[in-house]
Amino acid sequence: MDFRQEFIDFAVGKDVLRFGEFKTKAGRLSPYFFNAGLFNDGAALGRLAEFYATAIGFSGIRCDGLFGPAYKGIPLVAVIAVALARAGRNLPFSFNRKEAKDHGEGGSIVGAPLAGQVLIVDDVISAGTSVRESVELIRAAGATPCGVVIALDRMERGRGSLSAVQEVQRDYAIPVIAVASLDDLLTFLRARPDFAQYETAVERYRQEYGVARSS
């Protein structure tokens, strides 16, 4: 099975990906909901990290380090670094504090110094706020943001014609790698007769609010 389909199956099995009727921040009624915060035990978080590592490897992106924006990116960047090291790719990682520390080592960055090409790690991209802040921090340190990796690309329009992922790619000229996308979710639903009741609703939502796959 393709790793993207394995990831969708895993997320559904952990109840991280749910189906029904959920109100989004934009006020839309979505037929599915993805909450990466529910990968909340050691085994689940470790498996999630393996999926991230696979997606990073599959993308072919070159980077010198990993960065996780506070707060959700902090555990993610640590476990992804471990998963990549186990796969033979040992990378330094760092994350930021929300408030700079004025004693001890000081500063707002914890972990390895930001240097070279830095890959940003996050769960999803909604408004793109954490990506913007991460890009600013990385550039301020003299390093270069080279991409973003997330768990799920909803492929959904924001206020304009582009999705949040497409806006990040346009604004910062960096790729966004997703472990899986809405297209992958639909592929999963079509292959599972036991989920047929949800396929129509998700496809309808895709037609109404979706965008084309990001290049």
Summarize pLDDT for 93-141 with one digit per residue, the tens: 999 987 655 544 446 899 999 999 999 999 998 877 889 999 999 999 9
Let me know if residue 154 belongs to a domain: yes
**Domain span at 25:** 3-209
Would you name the residues annotated as active-site residues?
101, 103
Check the CA dihedral 150-29-161-202 and report its sign. positive
Contact 58, 89 (CB under 8 A): no
Residue 213's pLDDT band (boundaries 50, 70, 90)? Answer: low
Above 70 in pLDDT, residue 7? yes
What are phi and psi for residue 61, nearest 5 degrees? -65, 140
Mean pLDDT computed over 10-34: 93
Mean pLDDT computed over 32-45: 96
Let me know if residue 214 belongs to a domain: no
The pLDDT value given to residue 97? 85
**What's the Cα-to-Cα distance from 158 to each of 35, 135, 163, rounded to whole Å?**
19, 21, 5
The pLDDT value given to residue 101? 54
In CATH, what number is assigned to the domain containing residue 187?
Answer: 3.40.50.2020
Mean pLDDT of the chain: 92
Residue 24's pLDDT band (boundaries 50, 70, 90)? Answer: confident
Q: Specify the higher pLDDT residue, 88 or 100.
A: 88
The pLDDT value given to residue 39? 96
The pLDDT value given to residue 104? 45
Number of domain units in the chain: 1
Let me know if residue 134 belongs to a domain: yes
Question: pTM, whole model, 2 decimals?
Answer: 0.92
Structure tokens at 155: 């492929």
Let me know if residue 178 belongs to a domain: yes
Above 90 in pLDDT, residue 27? no
Let me know if residue 215 belongs to a domain: no
Check the CA dihedral 87-182-36-114 and report its sign. positive
- pLDDT digits over 143-185, tens only? 999 999 999 999 999 878 899 999 999 999 999 999 999 999 9
